[in-house]
Every structure is written in structure tokens, then in C-alpha cells.
Structure 1
Amino acid sequence: MDIQFFKYQGAGNDFILIDHRVSPLQNISYERIEQLCDRRFGIGADGLMFLTTHDEYDFEMHYYNADGKPGSMCGNGGRCIVAFAKHLGIIDRDTNFLAVDGPHYAKISEEGNWVDLQMIDIDTINRDGDAFVLNTGSPHYVAQMENLEDYDVFHNGQAIRNNDTYKEKGINVNFVEDKGDYLFVRTFERGVEDETYACGTGVTAVALSMAQHKNLSGHIKTPVKVLGGDLSIEFDYNGKEFTHVFLCGPAEKVFEGQVSI
């Protein structure tokens, strides 16, 4: 059967979106999702999402990684599906929707191309040597780095993701360089098994880790640059818990079309 799909991107993190309300798929294999996400033999994306109805929320987000398997929370994917919901007329300027890590609130610009997505509260950041380890809806490893522009993120990130500690469940590996006015972040993502242009839960993990590292407190706004553009993380931190955490950035439709499933 042929179904309509939409391609969205948020700071270079790109996704295939399908309105499951009008194109209900009873059976789609992980292998087929992986094919659709393939950049040479498919549409090409870091992941695929289905938007479905929910009795208690505006909609529900179902996310699959580029390897075809169900994924944990995707922050930029969450921002893109909010823009998609506005495009479909499901929401106007704000929304409450359900994702794999629970409910999320988001607000979107009138033009529909900028989304502020509320992430989960965080009260625990662990350490692995000098690195920070935390879960912002997805598990993340955060390491500080110098000369990050020239760093081999793919091979070093792959090595950490597949080491004895993290190989079984996997982890997303973030490298950060503090540029003073902003944080520069590059991420190796599990499920994609490659460096991506942006990772929403990743830059969130980085911003929180660096706030703890610098002993910051109060209401904090952290500009972040990734390979795909600019993002911003806003949150409140009392020295113990991170609350009112928002991932803010662009979310834009790239194109739409039909594909055989």
C-alpha cells in the first residue's frame, strides 16, 4: 500500500513522519523502517515517527531509530512532531502529548517553525571517570573536549558506546567544548550508530552536566551550537534538581511524498 509521509528536520536532525490516524499500519517490520531511513536506498532519516491519537493527550509520539528498532525519547524528534501536529491542525500554539518517557508540554511559534519542548526533570548525574552520565529521556555520556572541530567523533564515540560498560544497552556519546558564550556539541548516537548533526536529549544532557560542573544555580539559559545549527536549553537548577527543562530550536518541514509500505 502507498502512504503519505512527511520529512522534517530540527537543527539537521531529520525524521520521517507518518500520520497514523489516516494511514494505519497493522504490520511494518523493523527491516522496512530501516530501509526507509537508509540514505541511499530509502527516504533517508535519523529516525521515523508515527503520530497516533490518545484519549488523554493531543497525540502520542511513537519513535523508531534509523536501525528500525523502537527508540527512547528523541528531543529533536519531539520538536519536529509538534510542528507536524500543528501542520495537521491538531494543535495551535501549545500542546500536551505523550512520548515513551511520559507526558511532554511544548509551545510553538505562530509560524510553526520554532518549538520549545519541555523535557523530563533530572535529579541524578553520575560519573564515569571525568565524564558525566545521565538520562534525559535517553541515556547519555558527556565528555569535555578541546579542539572538538578536529576530533574523531565517529571512532571515539563508537568505542565508548560499545565498551564493556555500555555495549549491552548502548549509550549516546556527547563531546562538548566550552566556547565561553556557548557550548559546541557533537554526538555519536546509538540506533543511528553514527554521528548526527544534532541530538536534542544529548544537548540537554550536556547543558545540565556543565551547569553542575560549573556550580551554577537559578534560572539558566545555555546556547548550544551543533553541526546542524543553533539550539538553546533553559532550566532551573537549585544545586540538586533540574526542573522546567526546555529544549528550544527550529523544526521545519523539508518535503512530503508517498512511499510504498
Structure 2
Amino acid sequence: MKMDFFKYQGTGNDFIILDNRKKKIPEEDHSLFTRLCDRHFGIGADGIILIKNDPSRDFYMKYYNSDGKESTMCGNGGRCAIAFSKKLGITKKNKIYFRAIDGDHCGIIQDHGLISLNLIDLEIDMIKISQKYVFLNTGSPHHVLFVKNIKEIDVCKQGRKISKGGVNVNFVEISGKNTLQVRTYERGVENETLSCGTGITASVLAAYETEKISLDKEKNVSISTLGGKLWVSFEKKNNLYKEIYLTGSVQFIFKGWIHI
């Protein structure tokens, strides 16, 4: 069978996006998704995104890691899915509503190729703070470590020890009162990725909750990753982090077809 595909990247986090609104793609064939993500024998990507119909939203986003297994929410993937849905003509508006495994999301298409994604609210009581790390879930589970000399960290070696397949690991260096550098080891990819949207968001909230950073007038925190720059904004109200937005660039790379 011939299958069309589209390749997108969000600050270096790259995805194969498939339009499965007609239900022609075998979603349970995990070996297929592994082959597609293989950078030597397939198309190559950090993950697979399926765009599906949803009865109450513009679309449903289903995400698979490069190991072929369905995973939790992907922030940069969500931003790429927003751009792709606009390309498909699912909506003509620049404000898009979709659903994913963790619930409802809103995406905003801005100028200059920037796309903002609204992530789920986070209860402060659900943030685990210890002397060595912070653990929290921003749609995916994240282990956050604050470090110095982030460029010298062996992210794969250290991240693999902590992750053991169950959690993403973020190494964070504070650059200023509202700026961070973040490197992430992603489960399912089992490697460092150039950027991780939910990991960046988790790193910002962990840094703010432990009073390592403050907000500027625009309530934005700037984050540098290996794949580029992103921004996170949020509100903290009572026992809740809400109005959490992840903003950064998205780029359509190419489209093609492959026999499966």
C-alpha cells in the first residue's frame, strides 16, 4: 500500500505526520512506525503523529514515539500538528482546538512561523520536590535536574540511568532571572532530542516553583535548546498552574510517499 506522509520539525524535534481521518493506516502495527522513524532505513523522526477525526474538536492527535509505542502528550508534536491541520484545511482559523491522550488543547498560529500550544493545567500538590530533583507531569512525566556547565553533561549516559524507560529526564541550567538552557533525554526515543516541548515546560515550572527564576512583564520565560529558542508563559493561581503556553517555531520540511 502506498502511504503519503509529511515531515515537520519544531525546534529540531522532528515528526512524521500522517492524515488518518479516513482510517486507512494500521494504527496497531507498531513495527511499521518503528521502521518509518528509523533514520537509516526509513524516513527518520523522533516520533509519529496521526491526525484523526474528533466529534467535538478540529481533530484528534495520536502520538507514537520512535520505538513504535503510543505515548503521552508531545508538546512540539502538538505544535507541528496544529500547523499541519491548517495545511490540510481542517480549519481556516488561526485558533485551533484539538484533543490528545491527556485531554483538550488549544493552538494559536502566530506571525513569523511561531505556534503556541496550550498545555494542561498542573496542580501544585502534584509537583514532587526533593533536594536532588523535581518531578512533575506536564502531559508527560518529567524528572528535572538543575545543573551547571550544561554543555559538558553526558545527557545520554546520565539520562538513561535515571529514565529506565519510564520518565523523561531534563538537565537545566539557569541563565538569568527568566532564562534557561535545557537538554532532554526522551524515553521512547532513548536518546537526547534537540528539543522537548513538555520537558521545557516542566523545566520552567520546576524552576519557578523552586524560586530559581522570575517572570518578566510579559510573563514569558525564554528557553534555549539545541534545536532553537522557545518561550513558556503561565499563570499561578491558588493551587494551580494554568494558562500554560509553549511557543516556538514550526517548519514544514517535506512531503512524500512510501510503500508499507
Using structure 1 for the length normalisation, give the TM-score.
Answer: 0.93
Q: What residue number does 1:105 align with?
A: 106
Q: What residue number does 1:40 align with?
A: 40
Q: What residue number does 2:114 align with?
A: 114
Q: Deviations over 1:157-195 (max 9, x none)?
A: 000112xxxx5xx00000000011520000000000000
Matched, 1:196 2:196: no
Q: State the secondary structure of the residue aligned to 1:73.
A: coil
Aligned residue identity for 2:244: V
Q: What residue number does 2:77 align with?
A: 77
Q: State the secondary structure of the residue aligned to 1:247.
A: strand
Q: What residue number does 1:183 align with?
A: 180
2:250 and 2:68 map into 1 onto residues whose CA distance is 22
Shift of 1:251: 1.0
Q: Which runs of 5+ in 2 are unaligned?
A: none
2:58 and 2:11 map into 1 onto residues whose CA distance is 25
Aligned in 2, Cα 1:206/1:195: closer, same or farther, shift over 3 Å?
same
Which deviates more, 183-192 or 234-243? Answer: 234-243
Q: What residue number does 2:134 align with?
A: 132
Q: State the secondary structure of the residue aligned to 2:122.
A: coil
Q: What residue number does 2:11 align with?
A: 11
Shift of 1:21: 2.1
2:249 and 2:129 map into 1 onto residues whose CA distance is 31
Q: What residue number does 1:250 align with?
A: 249
Shift of 1:260: 1.2
Q: What residue number does 2:53 align with?
A: 53
Q: 1:145 aligns with which of 144, 147, 152?
A: 147
Shift of 1:126: 0.3
1:20 and 1:27 map into 2 onto residues whose CA distance is 9
Matched, 1:214 2:207: no
Question: Identity, % of aligned pairs?
Answer: 42
Shift of 1:109: 2.2
Aligned residue identity for 2:29: S
Using structure 2 for the length normalisation, give the TM-score.
Answer: 0.93
Q: State the secondary structure of the residue aligned to 2:77.
A: helix
User: 8 Å contact 1:93–1:110 — kept in the other structure?
Assistant: no
2:237 and 2:63 map into 1 onto residues whose CA distance is 32
1:134 and 1:93 map into 2 onto residues whose CA distance is 30
2:254 and 2:218 map into 1 onto residues whose CA distance is 37
Shift of 1:32: 1.2
2:237 and 2:27 map into 1 onto residues whose CA distance is 47
Matched, 1:231 2:227: no
Shift of 1:219: 7.0
Q: What residue number does 1:86 align with?
A: 86
Q: Which runs of 5+ in 1 are unaligned?
A: none
Shift of 1:48: 0.3
Aligned length in residues = 254
Q: What residue number does 1:155 align with?
A: 157
1:184 and 1:221 map into 2 onto residues whose CA distance is 14
User: 8 Å contact 1:145–1:175 — kept in the other structure?
Assistant: yes
Aligned in 2, Cα 1:66/1:27: closer, same or farther, shift over 3 Å?
closer
Shift of 1:239: 6.2
CA RMSD of aligned residues (A): 1.7
